[in-house]
Amino acid sequence: MRIMTVPRPRLCSPQRQQQVQALLATALLAASTAAHAQAPAFPEAAYRKHIEVLSSDAFEGRAPGTAGEQKTLAYLEQQFRAAGLKPGAGDSYLQPVPVVEIMPHADAAMRLAGAGGKSLELRSPDDVVVWTKRPVPSTSIANTEVVYAGYGIAAPEYGWDDYAGLDVRGKLVLALVNDPGFATQDPKLFNGNAMTYYGRWDYKFAEAVRRGAAGLLVIHETKAAGYPWDVPRNSATKPQFDLRIDDYEARRLALEGWITEDAASRVLSAAGMDFGALKKASSVRGFKGQATGLTASMAVRNDVRNTVSYNVVGKVPGSKRPDEAFVYTAHWDHLGKTANAKPGEDAIFNGAQDNATGVSALIELGRAFAATKPAPERSVMFVAVTAEESGLLGSEYFAAHPPIPVAQMAGGLNMDNLYSVGKTRDITVIGFGKSELEDALRTAAARQGRVPVQEPSPEKGFYYRSDHFNLAKAGVPMLYTKAGIDSPTLGADYGKKWLAEYTAKRYHQVSDEYSPDWDVSGTLQDLQLYYDVGLGIANSSRWPNWRADSEFRAIRDGSRK
């Protein structure tokens, strides 16, 4: 889906825009003032207990389709009921999500051959990781031509097409991660340092499908991707999940995967190309992709199982407009267990930060709203979604099969990996400046002496990497925030240092475990913000929108009509 090409609505005059924003800010301020006056306490012990339970070894890493899922669903349903939430998926808390589970077993190596008898072997998973989301017993490429397609982007609104004049039908594509704006740091190219959706690997796979390719390998670079090689390496050894679809041959590649920067350099060198020079040329408008003269062969065997996973949905019915809602989301799933652990090694990806923290916050927000008197005028929904780690599948299904129409969702807030950095003077907004919901957030933050700030690493494209994105694509204004970085006791950049260490040592690794030493005081403070924002919108009759220059504005305007 090319979200960047949606038509822009006609804009009113700047003066009128200012008047509308002022009126909205006044309304949100009044609503937020009422919300703040009755904001409940969020007990630390309860929040910690949820994290400790959900990330314990007993939950086996909370992978969909496992015993860990069953324990997680039972716990969430029990906690939603105990909090006083009503079932939000019809008369049930559970929304079935039909998925296919594919456990790939890739060949030990990808073999490449070229003219003159040149050959090269890439080892899996040290050099390359591959899988398929086609639910078939096996899939392969054999003597398949390899082409280099720059960033693998076709973006007409930016005047950019890496595929221009390049026939990739039935071929294996190599494409750089991220986008040219990040590579050049040119604010006039794409979105400059801030990643666009075109920089995301899932967009690149989808575009390769549209071009008829057999497969695509994304060239991994830690800085440009935003995470080390261990992340795709670990993910590729787990079952791949996808929503069940009938036309998978037309909508899924025969092979998807990642290749290390070093391995890609060796491949291109074997083709007589210089990776550094090619990468630099790829960031210049008008670059044309090239054939390499190489062919590749590799096969993947699959264990395929159709199954059903579940979103968990609870709600507080609105007292005046129950058919309208504010929505909180958090994903409950993580990576499960690894089959590659040696005897005595830790095999469980506990996912304490990612995302037992967000689900625990969801439970406690549900408890707070269920106890709010009088009840909010609009309904408030609490959605714990499945299969985020497999491509945001639970939220994709929820957005396509919502309990109420997405046009009736006044807005929402997503909680994914709530960093335990303690209290801060700021709060980080992922996708800063996208929607009018930030007006309500700014007002609530000011009451705490805090200020919303842009994310410290917009080049990593975090706004396109969590569950709010699927609702945003449907037009619903969605906030996605993180802890701030400016600690009043540990320094202005403490949050950056904490995140860098977490990403390097714990993100998507078995070391992401709960510790009583965590400082969750900042998260509890953030929960007050989240409550204030949600209650303010729920008690307002207004409809916050995306900013005029947001790629989602036209979608929202269309749905609200």
The pLDDT assigned to 226 comes to 86
The residues, any chain, with a CB within 8 Å of residue 337's CB and separated by 6 or more, are: 60, 61, 63, 347, 348, 349
Which helix (H) or strand (E) element contains residue 203? helix 201-210
Tokens representing residue 308 in the block: 């059903």
The third-level CATH classification (topology) of the domain covering 51-83+317-560 is Aminopeptidase (3.40.630)
**Does this model's pTM top 0.85?**
no
User: Residue ranges of the domains in the chain?
Assistant: 51-83+317-560, 102-304
The model's pLDDT over 219-232, given as tens digits with 9 standing for 90+, comes to 999 999 988 999 89
The pLDDT assigned to 39 comes to 67
Which helix (H) or strand (E) element contains residue 145? strand 138-148
The third-level CATH classification (topology) of the domain covering 102-304 is Glucose Oxidase; domain 1 (3.50.30)
The model's pLDDT over 60-112, given as tens digits with 9 standing for 90+, comes to 999 998 999 999 999 999 999 999 999 999 999 999 999 998 999 999 999 99
Which residues of the chain have a pLDDT value below 50? 1-23, 25-37
The pLDDT assigned to 28 comes to 47
The pLDDT assigned to 497 comes to 94
The pLDDT assigned to 94 comes to 98
Across 245-261, b (16+ Cβ under 10 Å) vs e yields: eeeeeeebbbbbbbbbb
Whole-angstrom Cα distance, residue 413 to residue 434?
13
The pLDDT assigned to 244 comes to 92
